Structure formats: C-alpha cells, structure tokens
Structure 1
Amino acid sequence: MLLALILAAAIANLNLAVANVALPTIGAAFDASQTQLNLTAVGYSLGLAASVLYLGALGDRYGRKLMLLLGALASIPFGLLAAFAPSIEVLIVARVLGGIAGGMCYPTTLALIAALWRGAGRTRAIALWSAIGAAVASLGPLLSGYLLETLDWGSVFVVTVPLAVIAFVLALLFVPAHINESKAAVDNIGGIISIVMVGALILAINFAVVPDSTTLAVTLLIVALAGAVVFVIRQRRARNPLYDLHIAARPPFWVAAVAGIIVFGSLMGAMFIGQQFLQNVLGYTTIQAGAAILPAAILMVLIAPVSARMVDRTGSRTTLLLGYGFVFLGFLTMLLLWHEGSAYWQVGLGYALVGAGVGFAQTPAAHSLTGSVPPTRLGMASATADLQRDLGGALMQSIFGALLTAGYAAAFTAAIGASADATTVSSSVESELTKSFDSAEAIAKQYPQYADQITAAAKESFLAGDQWAYTAGLIAVLIGAALVFIFFPRKDRESALVAGYHATDTAAPGQTT
C-alpha cells in the first residue's frame, strides 16, 4: 500500500524534474526564448500548485482513492501530448495540464499516509514518502540525460507514462477507498479563486522581466493580490471553508508550510539553474549533467531515517534549522565556487549540501502539517505539503529564472556596448543575443568569424545571471531560517500544542476540552 502511494507521488516528482536537462535541447529545437524555457520548466509546477488546494478538498469529500486513480490515468495522455508537442506553446500547455493531473493524485498520497498510520509509524512512512519522492525528482535529470543521448527531447516526457500505469494498477488493487473522509460540502467558489490566485502569481513573476510585458506582469500581479484578498474573505465567511484559516494559523502548521516552500523551492531552483549552467557553461553532456545531481539524491535517501529519528528525539524545529543550515551552505558553494572551469567536486559539493538540507527538512515539515489538522482535514494538510514542493518550486524557479533572464540580458547588453564592434550589431541581432544563451549560440553559428567572442560573452552573461539567482536563494534561506527560529515551538511546546489541537478537533460539538 505504501509502495502504491510512493509511486503515485513519483509521477508528479518525476514530472517536476525531467524538463530541466532537456531545456537547452528544447530551446534549440524551437528557437525558444528564455521566458518560454522558464514556462516549460515551471509549467508542471504551475498546474499542480494552482489546482492542488481545490483538488485536495475534492478528494477529502468524494474519495481520495478516486482522485488518485483519475490523476494517474490523466497523466498518460498529457505526458504523450508533451512528448509529441509540435510547438513550444503546445508543450507549455501540455505541461500545465499534466500538472493539473498531478494535482488530482499527489495530494491524496500524503493524506492517505496520515490517515492510515499513527505515531512513529507515520513519521517513518512520511520520511520514506518524502525521501523517495525528492530522490526521484533528483534522479529525473539523470534519466533525462540518458534518454537525450540517443533520443530526442520528447522522450523525457514519455518516461512517466509507464510509471502512471503501474501506479494506477497498484492503487486500484491495494489502496483503501474511504478513510476518515469529510461529509461536508466543498467550497467550489474558494477552489476557483485559489486556482486564479496562485496561477496569476506565478505567471506574473515569469513575465516581470520580459521586454514589453510590464503591463501584463502588473495586471497578473494585481489579479493575484486581489484574488488573495477575496480568497481570505471567502474562507472567513464560508460555512465549510476550502482552507480553514483557523487551522492554518496554528504555529506548527503555518511555519512548517513556509519553511517547506523555501526548502523545496531551493532544491528545484538549484536544479533548474544548475542544469543550464552545467551544459551551457561547463559543456557537460545531458547525461553528465543529470548524473551531477546524484549526490543530492543519495543524501536525501540516506538522511531521511536520521531526520525521522531527530524529529522524535529533538522535535521538528531543531531538525528544520539543521536542514536550513545545509541548504544555505549549498547556495554559498554555488555562488562562490561555480564558475567557468569549475571541477566536478565543486559541482557535486553544492548539490550534496542542498540534498542534505532537504533530507533533514522534508520530514519535519510534512510531519508538522499532518499532525496539526483534524482527520477530515488531511487533504488540506497534504495539499499544503504539496504546495511546499509545487508552489515553492514554481516560485523559486520563476524567481531564479527571472533573475537569470534579467542578469543575462543586462550583462550581454553591457558586453555589446563595450565591444569595439558595437556599432555593427543591429538591433535585431542584439535582441537575439540578449534573449537567451541558446539564441546567442544560434547567432554565433550565423557569424562564425565572431563565434568565439559571442560564446565567451554568452557564458560570462549567463554566469552574471546565475549569480543573481543564487544570491536570491541565500536571502530566501536566511528569511526562512529566521521564521523557524522565532516562531516554531520547541519540542515540549510543540507536543503540547499538537495534543491540544487533537483534543479540540475530536471533541463533540458543544463539548469543551
């Protein structure tokens, strides 16, 4: 049963990661801009993050197993659509639709784990679910790199199809149909608002640095902020809110939610930028770039049982802070040691540190969420745990991608201005050079006499952009660690709070505790 749930979650975890290694190949195939590549990478996270709250609530009400089976089934055609997309626009749409399919099955996996296990058994099950899920996400680039050695870019999106078939069969045979599910009506209006709010926010970040798209980005940001205000008002007034803000205000819940968003977002952001760095700047092949992430995957799996024991022994707060410390060191390594000519040990060290941090942080984050809600609200907890990965991944990849785009364009524009041949560069050529690394490489092939200069400038510009991204990662980690240190309760206080929540949530109506 646990294997079925882990494999079902792996559909989403793998889909979140497989596109990263293929981005340079996809960019060359479609002459895509950096923004289009950003949207391709973040599209799955966008679809999943925007829909997961609503779909998690629907699973609580109408059947978590049913939602899991529908999500696994829908992942098959959307994966094939991505694999055989005739244009970059169709590929982006397929990625978003695939994310929505993932939103059907992914929330139910943690909700069912929380419903089926108790005590230390739940902590260990969550640790396995988290570690294997994160490891699958990290191994996705290696698998993609292997496929890209002999097949075209579409092959990376086919790989999740057999996994979806196996997960569907196992879930159908072994997962119970109804465990502590809600009888209350679903807040459909709140669900629609949540989709608009999250989707608009992620798109606003992606379009913020696109030339001539300021109006669109501002409009999307206004829609996201307005959606957030309306969503809060709706949840306060709804008889059965989609997202119970009173439960969400509990310190073990909201601090763990924010902490997880930053930690998992850091992993996805590091993989997103790192894969392009390895291929564009260091000249790694796709399989070499995928294999470079192995230290992160290995450490996440090895540290998961250690993290589970630490949660039981020292509490979630200490374990989360330890995870943050490792993630901070990982970004610091990338900022200081990742440059043109970096040795593999420098690359592997950066990934290893981030992987260790995620390994320590993922179990206490999920454990605190599921331990702070009543049984009928497990969909809310699992959806929030999913948002940690998906919203965190979408936001951090969007922010990192936006900073990479802006930094790259600014550095290349400065390089053109400082060049002795600046007056011979037309505005159209300059636009292509500053659009993305792949566009610059295409221009280099058109002008072989300047190829070496263009490639050198593109690498320097890319490095300037990724420095912006890694600096943002360091700042985010410091903010997250400060929140955990200040607001997350220590072990004894955490245990007392969770016990009090359980007594309140299980008391009969009108009964005081």
Structure 2
Amino acid sequence: MKDVSSRRWIGLVFISLAVALIIVDSTIVNVAVPAIVDDLGISSTQVQWVQEAYTLVFASMLLLFGSLADRIGRRRMLLTGVVLFAGASVGAAFAPSGDLLIGARLIQGIGGAMMLPSTLSLLNATFRGRERGIAFAVWGSTIGGMAAVGPLLGGWLTTSFSWRWAFGINVPLGILIFIGVLLTVAESREDAAGRVDAVGAVLSVVLFGTLVFGLIEGRSLGWWQSERAFTVGPWTWPWSLSPVPVAFAISVLALVGFVAWARHRSRAGRATLLDPKLFAISTFRSGNIAAMVVSLGEFGIILSLPIWLQFVLGFDALQTGLVLIALAVGSFVASGFAGASSGKVSPVLVVRIGLLAEIVGIAWVGLVVGPDAAWGWLLPALFVYGFGVGLATAQLTGVVLQDVPVQLSGQGSGTQSTARQVGSALGIAILGTVLFSSTAGILSSSLDDRGIPAAERDSVVSAVVDSAGAAIAGLEQNPQTADIATDAKAAFSDGTRLSAFTAAAFLAIGLLATIPLGRASRREGRREEPRGDVAAAA
C-alpha cells in the first residue's frame, strides 16, 4: 500500500509537468513574438493568431476530449495528447513562415485539449479527501507559476539560441512526461459512460471556434463591413459584409442547437457531451460564469507587456523574462498561503482576496507603464498580481467542481477548462484590440499635431501597428524620424496602459461575479469532503 501511495504522488509530479507543458508553451511564445516578427515578418494580426490559433482549437475541443477521456481512458488520452503536442512542436520549431507556424500551433492546441481535462480527471479519480485538495492545489499553483516561468524560459532560449527553441524544448519535456505518466499513473475510465455525443461535439467546436475567430479578426477584417480581404487558400470572401458578424451569428445558432440537442438526448436517457443536470448544481453554474469572466482579465496583459518592454524600453527577451519572473514568485508564494489556510478560511473568500490582489497588481502595472518608465516598479506590481493569480486559480477551480460527481468529472473538468479558455481567448482578443487600436489612434493624433502629411502619417501608423511595435527601432535609428519614434513609444505605452486598465476592469467584474458563489456555499453548507463521489477541485 505504501508503494502504491508513493507512486500516486510521483504520478502527481508528472501530471503537473504535463499541465506545466501546456501553460509554459502558451506563455513562452509571448516573449518570443518580437523575434518571430523580425525573422518571419509576420503582421500584428498574425501575431495574435500565433497566440490565438492554439487557444481557438484548445477551447473548442476541451469538452469533446474531456468526454472521450472518460470513455477510452484518461491516461491514454493524456499520453496521446503529449505525443501530438510534441510532434506539432517540431513543426513549429522548423516553420519557415507565419502561416505554417500558425498551422503547427493549431495542432498543438488539439494536443493540449487532450491533455488538460485528462489531468484533471486523473487527479479526481486517483485522490480522495484532503489528499485530493492538496493534489489540486499543486495543479493550480503550477498554472499560476508556469504562466511566468514560461516567459523567462522563452527569453533565455530566444536570447541565447533562437525563438525556435521556445518550441523545440517541448520535445524532451514531452518524452519525459510520457515515460513518467506511463510508469506511475494508473489508467481509469467509466465503462458505463455510453457512446460519444457526436452531434454535440461538432456543435461545441463550431460554437467556440466561430466565437473566438470573430473576436480575433474583428479589428482587422471589420466588425460589420469588410475592411480587408479575407482569404483561405485560393478562396476569398466575396461580400462587402465582414465575415466577423457572420461568425458571431453562427456561434449563436450553434449555442442554441447545442443546448437544445443536449436537452433532447438527456430526456431520452442518452449520453450527452455536457449533461444539463450539471448546471442544476449552483456552485458549478455560478463558478463557471465567474471563472470565464475572471479569465477575461487574467494573463491578457502578458500579450502586451513583453512587446512594450522590448520595443519601447529596449529590453531583450531574457531581460523581459526576468522581469516577468516576479509574477511566478508571487504565484508560488500564494500556493503556500492557500495550503496553510486550507480548512480554516472559506475558499470563496480566498478567491476574492486573490482577485483583489490581481486588480491592485494589474492597475499598478498600468500606472507604471510609460516611455521612460522606471521598470523596477513593475516587479512588486507583478508580484502582487502573481500572488492574486495563485490564490484565485486553484481555489476557484475547487469551488467550481466541489459538488460534481466523479462519474461526470470529465464533463465537469472539460466545462470548467472551456470556460477559462474561452474567457482567456476573449480577454486576449479584446485586450489586443484595445492595445493596437488605441496605439493607432493616439499615434495618428500625435503625428497630426506635428503637421505630418496624411499619407505619411497613415504609413507610419500602419508600420508601427502592423509590426506590433517592431518598426519603432527603425524609426529611432533614423535621425529624420527620431521624433516620430518618440511619439510611437508614447502611443504604444498609452495603449499598453489602457490594456492594463481594461484587464483590471474585467477582474473587477469577475470579483462581482463571485457573489453568487458565496451564497451557494452558505446554502449548501460546504464541508471538507462532502461525499466520496464529489470532485474537490478542477
């Protein structure tokens, strides 16, 4: 028995490494983006797609793979995801163009969607009672900490070697995780789970895929009328109406169809991709809403801050990563605090403390940002922000799934992860739009004040925005455009500041969204271990 117990905890290490691989890869790219821009010459829209291609398919397929994992085996699904993720990382590392890099990121997203809900379900099936809470605290702190370790690792690899190693590092890590999970994690599945809801799976992929697509492409394609051509291979969008509102309409129709189909299958006693009865659980329903709103604000600033540090303050990728490590330190400190307060302080209260810390930290970042900023003030701001992320992430996950039966853990985990990832995609898309749109508007106004002709003004603004700030260095090196570079730095700083304040506003809304959680917790008389078939965490 002692050997079995020891093996479970060793397995936890490798499961946490699998989570770390997903999170590190999604954040490591942020620091590598400027080098990718320089090497491949990608546009600002492609910059967003390098980020969002992964998130789009990741969010779209979490429900599907969470449900499949319950049926075919959670360990098998995790191992399959690791292999696919590592293989796609090889393609990303050798990508000769932005389009091929985005394609590799899409495949990585599929692998990540196989991995994340499988890790949650494996922990839920392996641990019980207080051990389960500890296991998921480790899982949650891994997410918070790795969100900042990724930029440091990416900065070191990009500066010392190449941005391509930011993807190549996934291969040896994937091999280590595969072997470790195979040797230490027992297989688990639900033999009576029934057949997969294929129609529900298709509808869910269409729902989340079109939603994220519309949010990412709205700024460049146009929110209503087409502002530039949308081309897929040899085919070009033929209408003046932008594809963005069409994508949103499809998303709404897919949502209606998904809900109606799930209710129909549930009434017929057949398996569904997402059991409607889960939403009768108040903590699950309210918690997922809160998780999605909170994720709108969390991590979104990680898109703009590395770009600002490198193209405005002149940091290299490694220096940028070292600044962001303050976020990881805060997250790891928070995990210790959360462990010490377990059973003594209400998890909902811990979530709220975490969100308050995030709001203070991210607003602090916004106040510090400027073209001549004293970057040292970013360190305590990011520490406070990371501390809040570490508290809120793990505890909110536990609150969401505390009353979900084990036999529905795959669906519950997939739903919770989907809510977070959709929120993250929405946040990055919205904050990216705020960053680049506000930068364009402010820079255009500044150049007008200098009396720059309209054609030249538009050319400069397009160069700065389309390059995601990379063009600023070239403007600064030319004595004739040095003043314009100064304006560009100020505009990009203002855009970054507005992005930070927008993130803080989303987090404040997320804090308000936790109010029903407190009421549900009091009504249902939360206990340390409500029953044997209850998931204590996500």
1:119 Cα offset (Å): 1.7
Which AA in structure 2 matches 1:333? W
Which region of structure 1 is more displaced relative to structure 2, 376-385 or 61-70? Answer: 376-385
1:381 Cα offset (Å): 2.2
Partner SS, residue 50 of structure 1: helix
Which region of structure 1 is more displaced relative to structure 2, 365-374 or 433-442? Answer: 433-442
Q: 2:233: which partner in 1?
A: none
Aligned length: 504
Whether 1:372 and 2:382 are equivalent positions in the alignment is: no
1:9 Cα offset (Å): 1.5
1:30 Cα offset (Å): 2.4
Q: What is the CA–CA distance in structure 2 between the aligned matches of 1:372 and 1:114, rounded to whole Å?
A: 12
Q: What is the CA–CA distance in structure 1 between the aligned matches of 2:474 and 2:329, rounded to whole Å?
A: 40
Q: What is the CA–CA distance in structure 1 between the aligned matches of 2:381 and 2:423, rounded to whole Å?
A: 20
Q: What is the CA–CA distance in structure 2 between the aligned matches of 1:379 and 1:107, rounded to whole Å?
A: 7
Which AA in structure 2 matches 1:171? V
CA shift in 2, pair 1:280/1:503, >3 Å? closer
Which AA in structure 1 matches 2:44? Q
Which region of structure 1 is more displaced relative to structure 2, 187-196 or 171-180? Answer: 171-180
CA shift in 2, pair 1:442/1:299, >3 Å? closer
Are 2:354 and 2:389, in contact at CA under 8 Å, matched by a contact in 1?
Answer: yes
CA shift in 2, pair 1:248/1:7, >3 Å? same
Are 2:82 and 2:178, in contact at CA under 8 Å, matched by a contact in 1?
Answer: yes
- Match for 1:299 among 330, 334, 357? 330
Q: 2:263: which partner in 1?
A: 236
Are 2:84 and 2:107, in contact at CA under 8 Å, matched by a contact in 1?
Answer: no
Partner SS, residue 220 of structure 2: coil
Are 1:321 and 1:485, in contact at CA under 8 Å, matched by a contact in 2?
Answer: no
**Residues 14-53 of structure 1 aligned to structure 2 (within 5 Å):** 14-53=24-63
Whether 1:489 and 2:519 are equivalent positions in the alignment is: yes
Q: 1:98: which partner in 2?
A: 108
Q: 2:235: which partner in 1?
A: none
Q: 1:508: which partner in 2?
A: none
Q: 1:219: which partner in 2?
A: 246
CA shift in 2, pair 1:367/1:471, >3 Å? same
1:390 Cα offset (Å): 2.6
1:83 Cα offset (Å): 1.0
User: RMSD across aligned C-alpha pairs, in angstroms?
Assistant: 2.4
Q: What is the CA–CA distance in structure 2 between the aligned matches of 1:501 and 1:220, rounded to whole Å?
A: 43
- Match for 2:134 among 90, 107, 124? 124
Are 1:145 and 1:288, in contact at CA under 8 Å, matched by a contact in 2?
Answer: yes
CA shift in 2, pair 1:277/1:429, >3 Å? closer
Q: What is the CA–CA distance in structure 2 between the aligned matches of 1:345 and 1:376, rounded to whole Å?
A: 49
CA shift in 2, pair 1:331/1:494, >3 Å? farther
Which region of structure 1 is more displaced relative to structure 2, 493-502 or 358-367? Answer: 493-502
Query: What whole-Å deviation, never above 9, does each CA across 1:361-391 have from its counterpart, x for those lacking one?
Result: 1222221233221111111222234235432
- Match for 2:389 among 358, 362, 366? 358
Q: 1:157: which partner in 2?
A: 167
Query: What whole-Å deviation, never above 9, does each CA across 1:112-167 have from its counterpart, x for those lacking one?
Result: 11111112111111011111232122101001111111222211111111111111
Q: Which has the higher helix share?
A: 1
CA shift in 2, pair 1:299/1:388, >3 Å? farther
Q: What is the CA–CA distance in structure 1 between the aligned matches of 2:148 and 2:458, rounded to whole Å?
A: 40
Normalised by the size of structure 1, how large is the TM-score? 0.92
Are 2:297 and 2:504, in contact at CA under 8 Å, matched by a contact in 1?
Answer: no
- Match for 2:423 among 360, 370, 392? 392
- Match for 2:297 among 266, 276, 284? 266
Are 2:48 and 2:432, in contact at CA under 8 Å, matched by a contact in 1?
Answer: yes
Listed as ranges, the gaps of 5+ residues in structure 1 are 506-513
- Match for 1:58 among 31, 56, 68? 68
**Residues 302-451 of structure 1 aligned to structure 2 (within 5 Å):** 302-423=333-454, 425=456, 428=459, 430-438=461-469, 440-441=471-472, 444=475, 448-451=478-481
Q: What is the CA–CA distance in structure 2 between the aligned matches of 1:101 and 1:478, rounded to whole Å?
A: 33
CA shift in 2, pair 1:436/1:415, >3 Å? farther
Moved over 4 A (4+): 179-182, 426-430, 496-505
Are 1:373 and 1:501, in contact at CA under 8 Å, matched by a contact in 2?
Answer: no
Are 2:348 and 2:396, in contact at CA under 8 Å, matched by a contact in 1?
Answer: no
Whether 1:74 and 2:84 are equivalent positions in the alignment is: yes
1:7 Cα offset (Å): 1.3
Listed as ranges, the gaps of 5+ residues in structure 2 are 1-10, 222-226, 229-240
Query: What whole-Å deviation, never above 9, does each CA across 1:415-444 have from its counterpart, x for those lacking one?
Result: 232222325617555533443444533762
Partner SS, residue 268 of structure 1: coil
Whether 1:457 and 2:487 are equivalent positions in the alignment is: yes
1:85 Cα offset (Å): 0.9
Q: What is the CA–CA distance in structure 2 between the aligned matches of 1:374 and 1:15, rounded to whole Å?
A: 31
Which AA in structure 1 matches 2:247? L
CA shift in 2, pair 1:329/1:129, >3 Å? same
Q: What is the CA–CA distance in structure 1 between the aligned matches of 2:442 and 2:131, rounded to whole Å?
A: 52
Whether 1:184 and 2:194 are equivalent positions in the alignment is: yes
Are 1:180 and 1:375, in contact at CA under 8 Å, matched by a contact in 2?
Answer: no
CA shift in 2, pair 1:426/1:484, >3 Å? closer
Same amino acid, percent of matched pairs: 26
Partner SS, residue 525 of structure 2: helix
CA shift in 2, pair 1:10/1:499, >3 Å? closer
Which region of structure 1 is more displaced relative to structure 2, 123-132 or 420-429? Answer: 420-429
1:401 Cα offset (Å): 0.7
Q: What is the CA–CA distance in structure 2 between the aligned matches of 1:36 and 1:450, rounded to whole Å?
A: 30
Partner SS, residue 152 of structure 1: coil
- Match for 1:471 among 501, 506, 512? 501
Which region of structure 1 is more displaced relative to structure 2, 271-280 or 426-435? Answer: 426-435
Are 1:48 and 1:100, in contact at CA under 8 Å, matched by a contact in 2?
Answer: yes
Which AA in structure 1 matches 2:377? Q
Whether 1:83 and 2:93 are equivalent positions in the alignment is: yes
1:210 Cα offset (Å): 0.8
1:245 Cα offset (Å): 2.4
Which AA in structure 2 matches 1:321? R
1:72 Cα offset (Å): 0.5
Q: 1:137: which partner in 2?
A: 147
CA shift in 2, pair 1:387/1:353, >3 Å? farther
